[in-house]
Each structure stands twice: as structure tokens, then as C-alpha cells.
């Protein structure tokens, strides 16, 4: 059985407050996009769990990959879960604010549930996914959602970007998430993104803010320059996603923007 874990973008991201547990309360809107890894599960050849990878290299050991952690977590709830060989082909850039690792983990749970008819509900899977990462739960239902808490408290939103093409640009700059959070001053005294995202998309430029942009653009002007280029090419809205360093732009489908970036950039224009 094979599944295709997809990426997400953040439409606005507010850091609200620092919590007693060291995490931060935030609010954002997650939106799934058609940019994928590939994950396959087949019977284990020697009766023991095996995880392998191809594609883009990750700077972690196989046992620390989010897919392997998801399998271990699933087995805690289902001790009779048969061993499998999981193979991940990594196409999404890692540590890029696209949620690739979280999607891989969540899709592992979904894949195992389907393959072995475990009977776990979406609510069950969301609860397990939340233990693997702050935004993992989003990928269980994989539909637009307003997220609060650490990103695991989800409320469906009616939102479609079908009239737009989405440019995805990652300049290959690694941004450590803990460092990024330390650069932001929390602020919980402003209008909620829940209402802002309901405004017409052309108004988002003056409304939707990702709190990580200001400090990251100061530290890495190259990221801010990508956003400027997307607007210069005619984007209706452009923003960094997550804690960076990926930037996306929304272009009306009737447009044919002229965009080019250095060869080491990850650049995709989604239909």
C-alpha cells in the first residue's frame, strides 16, 4: 500500500503567549497543498520492522525518522500490529515550514490503520498524531483548519484557493525552530486570524502576518528577497510559511508569472 504525504502552508501565524511547559500558544490557518512525498508499506521480509529512505537526504538516523516513531506509537495502541517494511521517498525539503516530516508521520498512522483494518477513528489518529508533533494532527483530516494551542487544536474552516496558482520557493536556508521562536515577542492583543482569513484574498496582504518573518528576514535577507520577488511578479498574496524558510505566493490562474531562481533553490509552481 502506498500513500502520498502532502505539504501545507500557513496562512498567517501569530505567536500568542509562552506557556508554562515551554511551548508557545499560537494561532494559524493550515492549508494543504499538492506537493508530496511517497510512503509505502509492504510485509517485512524477515519478520521485523524496517524503515528505509530514498530521495532527499535527512540529517537524522532511520530510527529517529517521524515514520518510524509513528509506527512505534501505533504499536503501543495495537500490540499485535504486524511488522512492516516502510519506505519513504523524500521529495519535500525538510525543516522548511511545509510540514513534511509531520505529514510523513500522520500518513504513517493512516496507512497502518487502513492496511491492517485497525479501526482507529480520525479522532483516535489525531490524538496519536498530536504526540508526534504540534502540526501532525492536521494531516489526519487534511482539510483547511484554524489551529490554536501548539497547533494541535483544530477547527475546520471553509476556504478554497482553487482560483490561484501557488508558487513554492525555498532558498535552502535551514532555520532552527527553537531559535526562531526565541526571536519572536508574543502578542495576544490583536484580531484573530480566524476572522481575517475570511476576508477577500487581495486584502490578505495588509492583514495576514507571519510573526516569524520580521526576525528571519533581518537574519536572512535572502528569504525576504524571495517574498519581494513574488510580489514583483504579480502575486496577490505572498508570505513565509511556518518558521521558514519557504515562501509561497498566490497568483491568479490567468497569470503566467515570469519567475526564476538559483538552481539550488527548491521552486515549484503548483497548478
Catalytic residues: 8, 135
Q: Can you tell me the distance from the alpha carbon of 243 to that of 178, in angstroms, rounded to the nearest whole number?
A: 9
Half-sphere exposure of 67 (CA within 13 A, CB side): 30
Which grid cell sits at 36?
508530496
Q: Can you tell me the distance from the alpha carbon of 77 to that of 179, in angstroms, rounded to the nearest whole number?
A: 34
DSSP 128: H
Collapsed DSSP state (helix, strand, coil) of residue 197: coil
Q: Residue 58 burial by CB count (10 A; 0-12/13-18/19+): exposed, middle or buried?
A: middle
The reply to whether omega before 128 is within 30° of 0 (cis) is no
Beta strands in the chain, from DSSP E residues, in sequence order: 2-3, 6-18, 24-36, 38-43, 50-55, 84-90, 145-148, 153-156, 164-170, 237-240, 247-252, 266-270
Amino acid at each position: 500500500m502506498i500513500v502520498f504525504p502532502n505539504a501545507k502552508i500557513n496562512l498567517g501565524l501569530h505567536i500568542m503567549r509562552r506557556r508554562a511547559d515551554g511551548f508557545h500558544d499560537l494561532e494559524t490557518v493550515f492549508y494543504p497543498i499538492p506537493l508530496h512525498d511517497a510512503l509505502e508499506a509492504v510485509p517485512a521480509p524477515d519478520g521485523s520492522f524496517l524503515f528505509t529512505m530514498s530521495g532527499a537526504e535527512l540529517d537524522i538516523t532511520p530510527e529517529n525518522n517521524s515514520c518510524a516513531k509513528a509506527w512505534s506509537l501505533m504499536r503501543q495502541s495495537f500490540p499485535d500490529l504486524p511488522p512492516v517494511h516502510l519506505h519513504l521517498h523524500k521529495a519535500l525539503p525538510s525543516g522548511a515550514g511545509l510540514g513534511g516530516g509531520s505529514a510523513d508521520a500522520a500518513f504513517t498512522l493512516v496507512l497502518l490503520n487502513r492496511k491492517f483494518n485497525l479501526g482507529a477513528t480520525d479522532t483516535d489518529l489525531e490524538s496519536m498524531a498530536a504526540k508526534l508533533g504540534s502540526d501532525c494532527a492536521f494531516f489526519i483530516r487534511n482539510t483547511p483548519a484554524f489551529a490554536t494551542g501548539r497547533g494541535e487544536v483544530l477547527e475546520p474552516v471553509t476556504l478554497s484557493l482553487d482560483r490561484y496558482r501557488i508558487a513554492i520557493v525555498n532558498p535552502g536556508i535551514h532555520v532552527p525552530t527553537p531559535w526562531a521562536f526565541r526571536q519572536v515577542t508574543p502578542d495576544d492583543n490583536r484580531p484573530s486570524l480566524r476572522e481575517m482569513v475570511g476576508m477577500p484574498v487581495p486584502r490578505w496582504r495588509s492583514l495576514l502576518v507571519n510573526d516569524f518573518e520580521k526576525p528571519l528576514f533581518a537574519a536572512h535577507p535572502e528569504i525576504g528577497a524571495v517574498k519581494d520577488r513574488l510580489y514583483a511578479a504579480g502575486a496577490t498574496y505572498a508570505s513565509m510559511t511556518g518558521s521558514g524558510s519557504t515562501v509561497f505566493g498566490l497568483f491568479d490562474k490567468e497569470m503566467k508569472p515570469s519567475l526564476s531562481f538559483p538552481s539550488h533553490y527548491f521552486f515549484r509552481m503548483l497548478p
